C-alpha cells in the first residue's frame, strides 16, 4: 500500500475547505464530504483578520479575497445616541484584514478545490476505526476508507459524536439579528470606507461593516432574550421586533433597520472547552472542536489556523504515525483556542455592559482599550510558523 495518506474531511464549510487546501499544499491527498446537496451559506459577513490572512496568502488566495472583500480600515464606536467614544485605525502590520460575504468566500474556497475532491450530499452516519484505517458510512449508502478523518462539521458535529464527545450549549441570554443592505440605500454609509461601526447601549449592541467590495452593508444586532432561540443563521426574524429593540437609538441605526427587507435571528450559545479533540485516527477542527461566541470575530480565523497546523503535523506522516501526530496537533491548539473562547465571552460582556453615567462609561472604555491592546497577540499569531516550531520540538523529544 502507498504511504501517501488518504485524508477525509467531514464538512465543506470555511474550515473544512481551507484545511483541504492547506493539506494539499503539503502534498497530502484530501477528499471533502459535505452533507448538503449544494453549498449554500447564509448571507452574512465574516472577518478575515491578519492571523488568517497571512495563512491564506500562502495558498494563493490573496487575489480572490481582495476581489470579494472589503478592507478593514478601522473601528468607530458610539453610544446608542451617536456620541463617538472610541476610534481606531487598523495597525500597519503589512497584513490586511478583510470583511467578506460568507457565501462569496465559501464559493472562492469551493472553486479552488480540484475537480472530484468535493462530494456533496454525503451525511456521515458512522465512523469506525478498523485495523489501520477508518471506515466511513454515509446516509446515501456510500462507504469510504480513510487513513485520517477530520471533523470540520460544526457545532452539531457527527465526528465529535463518533469520537465519543458531547457538548452542551448554554445560552448567553442574547439573540442576534442579521441582515444585508445595499450600501446605496444608506445615506450614512457614504463616507465610512472600510471602517467597522459599532453602537453600544444598555444590554444591546449594533454593528455594521461593508462586504462584497463595499456593495453591501452587513448588520448584526445583539439584543437580550430569555427565550430559547435556534443556533441557526437562517431562522426568520421579525423586523417589527427588531425595530422596537432599538427605538430612540442613533439615526443611522434606525435607517439601517428601516432599509432591511428581511432579517434572520440567531441564538448565541456558549460551550465549555472540550477535554480533548482527537481519538486514534480522528480529530476535529473549527466549531466542531472549539465553538466560540462571535464577539471577537475569530471563529473563522481559528478554524483556518487549525487547518494549517494539521497540515504541518500530517506532512510526511506514515499510517502508524497518525494517532501521535493528531494528538500533538490537539496539544498545540487546545490552549490557544480555549483562551480565545474565554476572551470572546469577555468581549460580549463588555459590549452589553450597563452604565448609568458618563463617568462609568468612560471608566469602562478605558478598561476596554487596555484589554483590546492586550489581545493583539491573537491577531499577530502565525499558526503555521508556531506549528513548525512545535513539530521540531516534538520530533526531537521523540513524541511524534
| CB burial string 364-393: b at 16+ within 10 A, e below | bbeebeeeeeebeebbebbbbebbeebbee
Strands 118-119 and 29-33: parallel
Q: How far is CA 197 from the centre of its chain?
A: 20
Q: Hey, how many other C-beta atoms are within 10 angstroms of the C-beta on 65? A: 20
Identify the burial level of 187 via C-beta atoms within 10 angstroms of its C-beta, where 0-12 means exposed, 13-18 middle and 19 or more buried: exposed
Phi-psi domain of 164 (left: phi exceeds 0; alpha: psi -120 through 50; beta: other): left
Question: Annotated catalytic residue: which of 177, 209, 269, 351?
Answer: 209
- 397/399 Cα distance (integer angstroms): 6
- At how many degrees (to 10) do helices 358-374 and 322-351 cross? 160
How many residues in total does the chain contain?
Answer: 400
Element (H, E) at 173: strand 170-182
Q: Do 338 and 298 meet the contact criterion of CB atoms below 8 Å apart? A: no
209 assigned to active site: yes
Identify the burial level of 53 via C-beta atoms within 10 angstroms of its C-beta, where 0-12 means exposed, 13-18 middle and 19 or more buried: buried
- 305/295 Cα distance (integer angstroms): 18
**So which residues are the catalytic ones?**
209
Amino acid at each position: 500500500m502507498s504511504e501517501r495518506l488518504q485524508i477525509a474531511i467531514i464538512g465543506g464549510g470555511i474550515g473544512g475547505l481551507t484545511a483541504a487546501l492547506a493539506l494539499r499544499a503539503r502534498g497530502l491527498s484530501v477528499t471533502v464530504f459535505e452533507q448538503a446537496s449544494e453549498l449554500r451559506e447564509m448571507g452574512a459577513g465574516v472577518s478575515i483578520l491578519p492571523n488568517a490572512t497571512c495563512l491564506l496568502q500562502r495558498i494563493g488566495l490573496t487575489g480572490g479575497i481582495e476581489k470579494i472583500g472589503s478592507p478593514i480600515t478601522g473601528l468607530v464606536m458610539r453610544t446608542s445616541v451617536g456620541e463617538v467614544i472610541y476610534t481606531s485605525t487598523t495597525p500597519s502590520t503589512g497584513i490586511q484584514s478583510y470583511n467578506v460575504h460568507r457565501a462569496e468566500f465559501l464559493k472562492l474556497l469551493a472553486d479552488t478545490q480540484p475537480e472530484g475532491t468535493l462530494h456533496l450530499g454525503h451525511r456521515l452516519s458512522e465512523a469506525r476505526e478498523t485495523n489501520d484505517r477508518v471506515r466511513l458510512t454515509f446516509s446515501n449508502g456510500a462507504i469510504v476508507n480513510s487513513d485520517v478523518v477530520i471533523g470540520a462539521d460544526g457545532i452539531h458535529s457527527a465526528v465529535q459524536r463518533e469520537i465519543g464527545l458531547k457538548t452542551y450549549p448554554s445560552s448567553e441570554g442574547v439573540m442576534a439579528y442579521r441582515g444585508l443592505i445595499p450600501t446605496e440605500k444608506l445615506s450614512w454609509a457614504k463616507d465610512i470606507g472600510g471602517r467597522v461601526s459599532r453602537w453600544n447601549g444598555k444590554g444591546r449592541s449594533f454593528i455594521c461593516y461593508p462586504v462584497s467590495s463595499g456593495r453591501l452593508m452587513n448588520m448584526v444586532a445583539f439584543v437580550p432574550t430569555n427565550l430559547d432561540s435556534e443556533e441557526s443563521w437562517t431562522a426568520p426574524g421579525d423586523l417589527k421586533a427588531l425595530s422596537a429593540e432599538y427605538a430612540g437609538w442613533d439615526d443611522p441605526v434606525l435607517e439601517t433597520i428601516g432599509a432591511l427587507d428581511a432579517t434572520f435571528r440567531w441564538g448565541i450559545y456558549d460551550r465549555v472547552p472540550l477535554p480533548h479533540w482527537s481519538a486514534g485516527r480522528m480529530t476535529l477542527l473549527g466549531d466542531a472542536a472549539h465553538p466560540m461566541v462571535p464577539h471577537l470575530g475569530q471563529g473563522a480565523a481559528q478554524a483556518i489556523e487549525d487547518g494549517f497546523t494539521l497540515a504541518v503535523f500530517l506532512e510526511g506522516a506514515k499510517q502508524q504515525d497518525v494517532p501521535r501526530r493528531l494528538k500533538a496537533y490537539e496539544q498545540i491548539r487546545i490552549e490557544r483556542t480555549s483562551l480565545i473562547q474565554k476572551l470572546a465571552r469577555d468581549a460580549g460582556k463588555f459590549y452589553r455592559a450597563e452604565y448609568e453615567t458618563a463617568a462609568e462609561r468612560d471608566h469602562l472604555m478605558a478598561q476596554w482599550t487596555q484589554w483590546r491592546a492586550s489581545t493583539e497577540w491573537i491577531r499577530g499569531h502565525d499558526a503555521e510558523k508556531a506549528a513548525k516550531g512545535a513539530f521540531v520540538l516534538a520530533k526531537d523529544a521523540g513524541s511524534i
